[in-house]
Amino acid sequence: MTLTSPQFKYNARAALADAQLQRALSKGLGFVERRRLAAERLPEFESLRDAARDIKSHTLAHLDLYLEAYEARVTAAGGKLHYAVTAKEARTVVLDICRSASARTVTKGKTMIAEEIGLNDFFEQNGIQPVETDLGEYLIQIRHEMPSHIIAPAIHLNKDQVEADFRRVHTHLPKDRNLDEPATLLAEARGVLRERFLAADVGITGANFLVAETGTSIIVTNEGNGDLTQTLPKVHIVLASIEKLVPTLEDVSTLLRVLARSATGQDMSVYTTLSTGPRRPDDPDGPSEYHVVILDNGRSSMLGGEFADILRCIRCGACMNYCPVFNAVGGHAYGWVYPGPMGAVLTPALIGVDKGGHLPNASMFCGRCEEVCPVRIPLPRMMRAWREREFERHLTPAAVRGGLKFWAFFAKRPALYGLATALASRVLWLFGRGSGRFRRLPFAIGWTRHRDFPAPQGATFQAQWRRRRR
């Protein structure tokens, strides 16, 4: 999948003009109301958010040691840990494991890391067929699209589109079958994917958490696809980035208590699965190999730095559910794997602010994201920090820099500022007083293309004040 974050403005424009997407977005993400209700039903919710933040911060501050402990436990349980510094290394490691298993098809549970490293395309280039099993991910896989939301990847689709895709792709099924209702579409997907589950040689999942105490990887789903992915094949591969570490099972329960509530308003997702190593000697089912691929991809250098806090993210999606910008343009506009406010902070860190700079700039700093983040990440502050980096590196657009410099010149000289504003007020008033507003202002085209600009009142407050008082 190609990176289009540099074309964010173009993407956003296309998204705003996409009637079907706009319909889907306004039908919306009922998650907002549900989160509110779930939080209300748990008196300890706010304290749990503080605790969750503290657990993640503590872990990040001791990440090397928790990673060592985790590694020892995975190995003791018969699992194999692989390290990957870059996306390329991670792809290679995963491919090697699959080749050793003579894999032809690979089922996949939802994993953002797989998207981040471009795994599906790489598999296809190397003769291995990846099959997404999360229903939303499957829907977008057959359309060759990126997910548009981290919890609900196909939220931008309507059922007619899904029907069209199923008819196009599931050619072995009778052409005259009825696919009118979501329930029939789901039943068809279930049947198709059931065959893939049973036939897969390798199953790949992500990990919401990696538990150092026990060497355990945890996935959280509502469908059960992750479980079928990791239980049926001979080989189970877990793809996880380094910041997924959590110290103990007790720490896991704190995080679980805020995760589903923040994501979908459920108290718990349907399936929370803890996996440790391969099947044991007398287990009648389960994989015979268990691999964990730990990916860095730039995260280790974020620790202890200005953007370290984003590594607390537990991928709940609350920030984007609440974001007015995300709700206006949807996830694809962000142009890469991670959309919404967390994407706006993480993307420049992983792909560079020169490519990802639009994302932290396209924010009003309304603060809703920070208000709902279960681990209290100061998202607006870090978006602003990206803007500072851009400014230092002169990446800020010339018009903005110039405008600011002009403004600052006057603002630093209040007497001169007073004269300039008095003049501006007078001039704009003269031109605008007839109607009280401007339908078009040459130097404010961005504004007046969409809305009227009110005319000032003719003299500034400060000028009038000084005339009236002494």
Partner 1 sequence: MPPPKNRVGLLVTCLVDLMRPVVGFAAVKLLEDAGCTVEVPRQSCCGQPAFNSGDRATARALAEQVIATFESYDYVVVPSGSCGGQVRVHYPELFHGDPNWHPRAERFAAKTYELISFLTNVLGVSNITARYAGTATYHDSCSSLREMGVQAQPRRLLAGVEGLTLAELPDADVCCGFGGTFCVKYPEISNAIVNKKAEAVAATGADTLLAGDLGCLMNIAGKLQRNGRHLAVRHVAEVLAGMADGPAIGEPEPKRAAP
Partner 2 sequence: MSARDLIFGSIRRSLGVSGKEATRRKTVADRLAQHPAGIVPARGQLSAKERLALFRTMVEAANGSVDEIADTGVVPSAIADFLRRHNLPMAVKRGADPRLAALPWEREGTLEVSVGPSDGKDLVAVSHAFGAVAESGTLMLVSGPDNPTTLNFLPDTHVVVIDGKDVAGDYESLWRRLRETFGDGAMPRTVNLITGPSRSADIEQTLILGAHGPRRLHVMVVGGSE
- Contact positions vs partner 1 (CB under 8 A): 9, 12-13, 16, 324-325, 328-329, 361-368, 370-371, 381, 384, 386-392, 396, 400, 404, 407-408, 410-415, 417-418, 421, 424-425, 429, 433-437, 439, 444, 446-447, 449-462, 464-465
Task: Give residues 184-213 in contact with partner 2 (rule: CB under 8 A).
Answer: 185-186, 190, 193-194, 197-198, 212-213
Burial 162-182 (b: 16+ CB within 10 A, else e): bbebbeeebeeeeeeeebeee
433's contact among partner 2, partner 1, none, with CB below 5 to 8 A by partner kind, is partner 1
SS3 label, residue 453: strand
Minimum distance, C-beta of residue 260 to partner 2, in the bound complex (Å): 9
Cβ atoms of residues 260 and 267 within 8 Å: yes
Minimum distance, C-beta of residue 285 to partner 2, in the bound complex (Å): 4
Alpha-carbon distance of 348 to 327, in angstroms, equals: 21
Task: Give residues 110-149 in contact with partner 2 (rule: CB under 8 A).
Answer: 133-136, 139
Nearest residue to 54 (alpha-carbon basis) of 339, 468, 375? 375
Nearest residue to 22 (alpha-carbon basis) of 338, 264, 332? 332
Paired with 216 in beta bridges are 211
Alpha-carbon distance of 292 to 282, in angstroms, equals: 23
Q: Which of 301, 435, 462, 464 binds partner 2 (CB under 8 A)?
A: 301
Examine residue 227 and tell whether it contacts partner 2 (CB under 8 A): yes
* CB nearer partner 1, residue 99 or residue 407: 407
Minimum distance, C-beta of residue 99 to partner 2, in the bound complex (Å): 19
For 336-340, the CB contacts below 8 A with 24+ separation are: 336/3, 336/4, 336/5, 336/146, 337/112, 337/115, 337/116, 337/146, 337/147, 338/112, 338/150, 339/148, 339/149, 339/150, 340/149, 340/150, 340/369
Nearest residue to 462 (alpha-carbon basis) of 402, 434, 404, 420? 420
412's contact among partner 1, partner 2, none, with CB below 5 to 8 A by partner kind, is partner 1
Minimum distance, C-beta of residue 364 to partner 1, in the bound complex (Å): 3
Q: Which of 205, 216, 262, 347 binds partner 2 (CB under 8 A)?
A: 216
CA 75, 77, 80, 81 torsion-angle sign: negative
Binding letters toward partner 2, positions 277-296, x by CB under 8 A: xxxx-xxxxx-------x-x
Q: Which of 208, 272, 363, 425 binds partner 2 (CB under 8 A)?
A: 272
436's contact among partner 1, partner 2, none, with CB below 5 to 8 A by partner kind, is partner 1
SS3 label, residue 155: coil
Examine residue 398 and tell whether it contacts partner 2 (CB under 8 A): no
DSSP-assigned states of every residue in 307-354: TGGGGG-----HHHHH-HHHHHH-SGGG-SS--HHHHHHHHHHHH-HH
Minimum distance, C-beta of residue 145 to partner 1, in the bound complex (Å): 21
* CB nearer partner 1, residue 214 or residue 361: 361
- Given the DSSP bridges, would you call strands 216-221 and 271-275 parallel, antiparallel or unpaired? antiparallel
144's contact among partner 1, partner 2, none, with CB below 5 to 8 A by partner kind, is none
Examine residue 66 and tell whether it contacts partner 2 (CB under 8 A): yes
Minimum distance, C-beta of residue 400 to partner 1, in the bound complex (Å): 6
**Span interacting with partner 2, options 247-255, 360-368, 411-419, 430-438, rule CB under 8 A:** 247-255
* CB nearer partner 1, residue 261 or residue 368: 368
> What Å distances lie between residue 72 and 80, 273, 274, CA to CA?
10, 21, 17
**Span interacting with partner 2, options 9-17, 94-102, 269-277, 369-377, rule CB under 8 A:** 269-277
Minimum distance, C-beta of residue 265 to partner 2, in the bound complex (Å): 11
Examine residue 246 and tell whether it contacts partner 2 (CB under 8 A): no
Terminal Cα distance for the chain, rounded = 68
279's contact among partner 1, partner 2, none, with CB below 5 to 8 A by partner kind, is partner 2
Binding letters toward partner 2, positions 25-44, x by CB under 8 A: --x--x-----------xxx
* CB nearer partner 1, residue 128 or residue 329: 329
Helix then strand then coil, in percent of the chain rounded to 5, is 55, 10, 35
Cβ atoms of residues 161 and 224 within 8 Å: no
Cβ atoms of residues 455 and 428 within 8 Å: yes
Cβ atoms of residues 174 and 206 within 8 Å: no
Examine residue 18 and tell whether it contacts partner 2 (CB under 8 A): no
Paired with 81 in beta bridges are 292
